[in-house]
Amino acid sequence: MKTLEPSMLAALAPREDFPILAREVHGKPLVYLDSAASAQKPRQVLEAMENFQRTSYANIHRGAYTLSEEATAAYEGARKKVARFINARNVREVVWTRNTTESINLVANSWGGANLKVGDVVLLSEIEHHSNIVPWQLIAARTGARLAYIPVTDGGELDQEAYARLLETERPKLVAVTQMSNVLGTLPPVREMIAQAHAVGALVLLDGAQSVPHLPVDVRALDCDFLAFSGHKMLGPSGIGVLWARRELEAMPPFLGGGDMIREVSLHSSTWNDLPWKFEAGTPAITEAVGLGAAVDYLSALGMEQVHAHEQALTAYALERLAAVPDLTVYGPPAERRGGVCSFTLGDIHAHDLATILDNAGVAVRAGHHCAQPLMERYHIPATARASFYVYTTAAEIDALAEGLMQAREIFAL
């Protein structure tokens, strides 16, 4: 085993900031390797939400009293933090949703419902999460549009030659693609892909559920048209997500109707509020927005370049350690072209059995199709186990994973 640099041995973020990491599972120290599903929360986020609930909670926007004004300032202040985090041109381009899934559904129903027609094409890829497939299937069925897919290579990367051909032959109205695969960790060359899509007149939606928490994302530099991501994967709470969209797309019709998204309502007609509130019907996740703002503060203090470098170092080490486990197959590209995700199979052990054995050793990994059944079919496998890393992950935890896999080999007599 190669000698590790000190920066690889330790977590990037202080582990004492994450209270849950102090607990034990089955008498073993918790090794949490499921951050791609949901990240653990630092005390700074937990305290920000608790303090807000204790001291300033009220409904927002409409109250002409102190608590409501404080809550509104905290809620809209979090929006400003997110806008800065992704380098949005205008804070009004940031729309709160519940999660990445709702953000993509908003675009599919609002933009897609207004702009797609019979014969139009939406171009996706074979590595997409179901949340970036199913909404487009639904809107295609309603509008008569078609879906086409960028193939994935045996090495887990999007076939760029096929992508160029599909742009030329299909002339899609929209390209919707992940910036980082939740299964393979693949980091497609999205900046180049966006420029190619724009050259044929297509808009581009990026699924940033895995990318925004783990690497620098600048919507101006990328020049994408939509970006969707979730709070709970980036140290924030669940129940809060983000859709960023270019201001020029404000002509999109509302997604949901109700309070706060209206300007005027009569018995027979209504007019709509300004962006972003036009797309934020009803009482929102106020406390969760405050929590996400605190998470953005925490990540910003760490530095997203450092977050990405830490995870790439851990991923390189993980690929090296896992390569030493006999009968183990890791799916996806090399470490320099992937994020902090390793999906694998071990002999003929089912992924769920493997995850159970690892759990007995205190190691938490994901098992299943990871909401990416078409990708599982592409590789002719029913499921994988998946280890995923974040700012609190250490090389020692990857060692614990490798040791747990060796124990699984013994249990199943491989």
Residue 293 and residue 82 in contact, taking contact as beta carbons nearer than 8 Å? yes
Q: Which residues are catalytic?
A: 371
Cβ pair 365, 353 in contact under 8 A: no
**What is the rounded (10 degree) CA torsion for 327, 328, 332, 338?**
-140
Q: What are residue 122's DSSP bridge partners?
A: 147, 174
Strands, E assignment, 255-295? 262-265, 270-272
Alpha-carbon gap, residue 212 to 228, rounded angstroms: 9
Instruction: Catalogue the E-assigned strands of 120-202.
Output: 121-125, 146-150, 174-178
Side chain identity, residue 218: D
| Phi, psi torsion values for 34, nearest 5 degrees | -135, 35
For residue 101, how many C-alpha atoms fall within 13 Å in the half-sphere facing its CB?
A: 10
Show contacts of 10-17: CB within 8 Å, 24+ apart: 10/394, 11/391, 11/392, 11/393, 11/394, 12/302, 12/306, 12/307, 12/310, 12/391, 12/392, 13/42, 13/298, 13/302, 13/391, 13/392, 15/392, 15/394, 17/42, 17/43, 17/44, 17/392
Nearest to 147 by CA among 170, 115, 180, 178: 170
Other CB atoms within 10 A of residue 260 CB: 16
Beta bridge partners of 152: 158
d(CA 207, CA 193): 14
| N residues, the chain | 414
What is the DSSP secondary-structure string of 151-170?
-B-TTSSB-HHHHHHHHHHH
